[in-house]
Every structure is written in C-alpha cells, then in structure tokens.
Amino acid sequence: MNYLFTSESVSEGHPDKVSDQISDALLDQFLAFDPNSKVAIETLVTTGQVVVAGEVKSSAYVDVQEVTRSVINKIGYTKAAYRFDGDSCGVLTAIHEQSDDINRGVDKEDKNEQGAGDQGMMFGYACKDTDNYMPLSLELSHFILLELAAIRREGKEMTYLRPDSKSQVTIEYTEANEPVKVHTIVVSTQHDEFDDDEPMLAKIKEDVINILIPRVKALLPERVQALFGDDIIYHVNPTGKFVIGGPHGDTGLTGRKIIVDTYGGRGAHGGGAFSGKDPSKVDRSAAYASRHIAKNLVAAGIADEILVQLAYAIGVAEPVGVFVNTYGRKNVKISDGEIAEKVKTIFDLRPAAIEERLKLRNPIYVDSAAYGHMGRTPVTITKTFESPYNGKVTKELELFTWEKLDFVSEVKKAFGI
C-alpha cells in the first residue's frame, strides 16, 4: 500500500532562521580574520530585541551590532511596522572566552590529533528521490520558500509579502519508496494588512497556486514536474491571517530548526544544531562529513538509500563508532556492517581531516543558515570582509563542499564496482 511522507521548511525571515543567520554571520566574521577561531554563538530574537551570547576564542574582534543589523536588514526586516527592524532593534551582547577545559581537548600539538569538540552522534543521509540525492518532500519545501523570497525581493507580484513564511509538502510514495505524486502543499506567508480578510485570503491562495507554484515547477526536472497533478490539496494561510510574524510574532532561537536544516525527517538526527559553531564542533563538521559520505555512496551505486552515523567522544580524534543503514536497498552483496568498515578505510574521519577535506575553516557558513545545509549546489564565490578593527580581506570560498561528488571513483574502487 502507498504511504504519505511530509517535510517542512521555513524562510529566512522565520524568527529561528533570523537567529541562525546572525550566529553564522558572526562566525564568518571571526573566521575571515582568524581561521583558527573557536566559536559557539547563540542568538535570541524577539520584538525589537536581539540577544547574542556564547563563547569565543579568537585574535579577531567583531562588531556584533554592525553584523547583526546588517543581517536583519538583508533578510528584509526594514520597516517599523514589522516591530523588528535592523536599524532600530536593540542588540545585547554576552560573549565570553571559551572554556579552557573544552579547549584543552581540542587543540593538540599534532593538529591531526585534534580532538572532537564534544561528544555526540551525527547522521548523514542520501537517497535517489532527487538529482541532489535529497528527500523530495524537503527539496520542494525549500524551493517553494526560495521562490517566495525571490518574488518578494523582485517586488513586481505578490507585493503584499513580508519576510516570514513556512511551507510543507506531502509526497505519496510506493512501498518501494518511489515518489508517485505531490499530495498536499501547505504555504503560510506573512503579509501586509488588508481591509477585508476574506478577499485577502482568496487572493493569496490564488497567487500561490497561479504564480508561485508554476515558478517552482520550472526549476524542476520533468520527472518531478510530472508529479504535480490537478488534484493537489492546498492549504494556504489556513488560519486566515498572518500579519503579525517574524520575531514580533514569535521568539526565535539559534538551532531550533535542525530537521529543516538536514533531511526533513528522513533518516535520523543526532540532536546537535549547526549555526554559530566553528568546525571543531563535530555537531557541525561530522554532520557535513556524514552527508558527504552518504551522498557519494549512493551516487556510486552502493545503495539507493543510505544513512551514515558517526559518533565521537570529546577530546578524542577517532570516532567511537561508524554505522551504516541501507534500509534493505543496497546494491552490493555485503552487509551494512561491512559497508561501514569500508567507509572507515575510504574517509579519514578525524576532526582535523574533515576540516581540511571539506575546507571548513573558512567563512562559508551564513550561506547555509537558511533553506537547508544539505542538498545545496557546490559553488565558488568571492567575498570581501571589512572591519574597523581588522581591516579588509577578500577571499575565494568554496561553498557546500560536503555536497561534492568527489569520492565516487574511490568508493567504486574500494567496493570493486
């Protein structure tokens, strides 16, 4: 019997994502001027107020207020009517030095023996739903909000849009885990005040179906476009009104959208958030490494669906465990345990090796802080960072290195494919 699976996404203007972007923008500033910075920054946003707290060890000095306001304005919170805007909100800072007790387990004389910044387990997942080896329900949820944000910034259609929004997509699958159709789409978008609520709701629903969804479909390959039938169930702003939103409508916190950030509920999640953390924190770096492994294994044909777990002890370089689950969908005649053993011979899983292989000691993180850390397209860009305290630096950066299919040939060789 077919089954339904659902994933959600939230926009860059969602209060939790505002917090994530502020935390990662501050991390990027530290890494731009001191690549060895140790950073763990949390952000809280609410009506007219931002609180930034955490631990930092760095030779760089960052103007927290300037960076925070710049992020908020770039997202689109630029009007007093939103009760939260970059130019007028308060910014409180409570950042102090990283604990020496933690640092002594991370910094080692031999860099290759750098210990994990904390204990924990991290998961990576990949499947053949999409060309990016991501669950289709999550990829469509992200695309809906990316296009909604693009429409808002263009300012030509749907001119009532405000920055906060959420999406949710339900896909019908066969028992063999093949997507059959798009079953339900939910879109809730913040909007300007209207004189009459009922015509407003009808207008927004009409625009979502006739303007937004066709733009999303145009981004998709034909095999995915074919899953959009005439019988899709739409729920658009189902409460009927969404004027009060963003940090004024709901307090936001860093790290509170970890399923949106990863696989939309597919696979598993170890519980650790990403944003605001430098790559010595394996919550982040090992989650990226496990995605890199899973994606390359699926692309190499080892299985049609794979979950990879890495687990670490604080201060210890080698992982305490490597686990692989192929959900009975493997294409090789060895056990999942044997696949895990081969993974350990192909990929160096020590934190320092992960940082080097994926080029993680670079200011690359704010670009990942909205619309998912996984399933993104690797790209090289040039960024300039300026600071009244540290000067100006221009860097060529590789974004989303963990999405590269650069180990496929090595995987095939190791598995004799």
- What's the Cα-to-Cα distance from 185 to each of 204, 243, 244, rounded to whole Å? 14, 21, 22
Q: With 70 as the cut, is the pLDDT of residue 312 above it? A: yes
Of residues 312 and 245, more confidence is placed in 312
Q: Indicate whether this model's pTM tops 0.85.
A: yes
pLDDT tens, position by position, 206-234: 999 999 999 999 999 999 999 999 999 99
Q: Alpha-carbon distance 216 to 83, whole Å?
A: 31
Q: Alpha-carbon distance 407 to 293, whole Å?
A: 8
Known binding-site positions? 14, 16, 42, 55, 98, 164-166, 241-242, 250, 256-257, 273, 277, 281
Q: Which CATH number fits domain 120-127+255-415: 3.30.300.10, 3.30.930.10, 3.40.50.12280, 3.40.50.280?
A: 3.30.300.10
Comparing CA positions, the residue from 48, 30, 46 lying closest to residue 38 is: 30
pLDDT of the residue at 369: 98
Q: With 60 as the cut, is the pLDDT of residue 29 above it? A: yes
Q: 284 Cβ partners below 8 Å, 6+ apart?
A: 272, 274, 277, 278, 360
Alpha helices in 264-371 (DSSP H): 282-299, 336-346, 351-357
Of residues 289 and 106, more confidence is placed in 289
Known binding-site positions for L-methionine? 55, 98, 250, 281
Residue 75: enclosing H or E segment and its boundaries?
A: helix 64-75
- Pair 298, 263: CB distance under 8 Å: no
pLDDT of the residue at 245: 87
Q: 291 Cβ partners below 8 Å, 6+ apart?
A: 124, 125, 126, 308, 374, 402, 403
Give me the mean pLDDT over the 40-51 stretch.
97
Q: With 70 as the cut, is the pLDDT of residue 50 above it? A: yes
- The pair of structure tokens assigned to 284 is 């982040």
- Pair 314, 115: CB distance under 8 Å: yes
Known binding-site positions for K(+)? 42
Same fold, 3-8+136-244 and 120-127+255-415: yes
Using alpha carbons only, give the angle 226, 232, 234 rounded to the nearest 5 degrees.
135
Q: What share of the chain is helix, strand, coil (3-state, %, to 5)?
A: 35, 25, 40
pLDDT tens, position by position, 339-353: 999 999 999 999 999
- Pair 399, 367: CB distance under 8 Å: yes
pLDDT of the residue at 198: 77
Half-sphere CA count of 404, side-chain side, radius 13 A:
14
Domain ranges of the chain: 3-8+136-244, 16-99, 120-127+255-415
- Pair 203, 212: CB distance under 8 Å: no
Q: Which range, of 108-122, 158-172, 191-205, 382-396, averages the lowest pLDDT?
A: 108-122
Strand order in the sheet with 120-127: 120-127, 305-312, 321-325
pLDDT of the residue at 104: 52
Average pLDDT, the chain: 94
- Pair 25, 366: CB distance under 8 Å: yes
Q: Say which amino acid occupies 174.
A: T
Q: 285 Cβ partners below 8 Å, 6+ apart?
A: 279, 351, 354, 355, 358, 360
Q: Alpha-carbon distance 141 to 227, whole Å?
A: 14
3-8+136-244: what CATH class? alpha beta
pLDDT of the residue at 239: 86
Known binding-site positions for Mg(2+)? 16
Q: Indicate the CATH number for domain 16-99.
A: 3.30.300.10
Known binding-site positions for ATP? 14, 164-166, 241-242, 250, 256-257, 273, 277
Q: Alpha-carbon distance 158 to 236, whole Å?
A: 14
pLDDT tens, position by position, 99-149: 655 555 565 555 666 778 788 999 999 999 999 999 999 999 999 999 999
Number of Cβ atoms within 10 Å of the Cβ of 395: 15
pLDDT of the residue at 334: 96
pLDDT of the residue at 111: 65
